Amino acid sequence: MVVINLAVMTAALVLATMMAVDLIGHIWRRRNLDKLRHPVTVWRGMVLCFATGIALRSGAAALVLWGWNPLRPADTGALLMLQRLIDPVAVTFGLSGLALAYMAAPGMVMQLRRRPHPVDFWTALPLLKRPAWIVLLSLLAALGVVATR
């Protein structure tokens, strides 16, 4: 169970951080073109909130799991305290994303119905290669750490 938690939390940290950095780059490059109430800006802000919340929450959990040491309980306790301090911030980001989604839903639905566009997920499937490798490498790292403890 420790291997699964360690692998999932590590992969979630890396993937959510990658998404947040990518979105921040898009927001920065398009800052002069995208208006604050534009659907793309709202969508980017919403996903950025979710990605940041996931990165913080899974990062804190991964830190505790990576730093777990039964021989030094004070260190483990400090990591658990840090996790407890980070968790409310992570949840705040997640709830902010939900609030953006809830407030933007009527306008987004109306806009998407006005000018619908097909979404072809299959052409974007190769984009999942890097995340799949990250999950696999996280699993291998977790196996190695747990096996050598």
Task: Note the pLDDT of residue 120.
Answer: 76
Q: Is residue 87 part of a domain?
A: yes
Q: Is the pLDDT of residue 147 over 80?
A: yes
Residue span of the structural domain in which 21 resides? 2-114
Quick: pLDDT tens for 30-88.
988 888 888 889 999 999 999 999 999 999 999 999 998 888 999 999 999 999 999 99
Q: Is residue 8 part of a domain?
A: yes
Q: Does residue 1 contact residue 25 with C-beta atoms inside 8 Å?
A: no
Task: Note the pLDDT of residue 6.
Answer: 92
Q: Is residue 124 part of a domain?
A: no
For the whole model, what pTM was predicted?
A: 0.86
Q: Is residue 131 part of a domain?
A: no
**Total domains, the chain:** 1
Secondary structure of 56-122 in the HEC alphabet? HHHHHHHHHHHHCCCCCHHHHHHHHHHHHHHHHHHHHHHHHHHHHHHHHHHHHHHHHHHCCCCCCCH
Q: Is residue 78 part of a domain?
A: yes
> What is the token pair recorded at 147?
């096996």
> Please, which pLDDT band fits residue 118 given cuts at 50, 70 and 90?
confident
Q: Is residue 36 part of a domain?
A: yes
Alpha-carbon distance of 37 to 102, in angstroms, equals 14
Q: Does residue 9 contact residue 134 with C-beta atoms inside 8 Å?
A: no
Q: Is residue 96 part of a domain?
A: yes
Taking alpha carbons only, the member of 7, 17, 6 closest to residue 90 is: 17
Quick: pLDDT tens for 3-23.
999 999 999 999 999 999 999
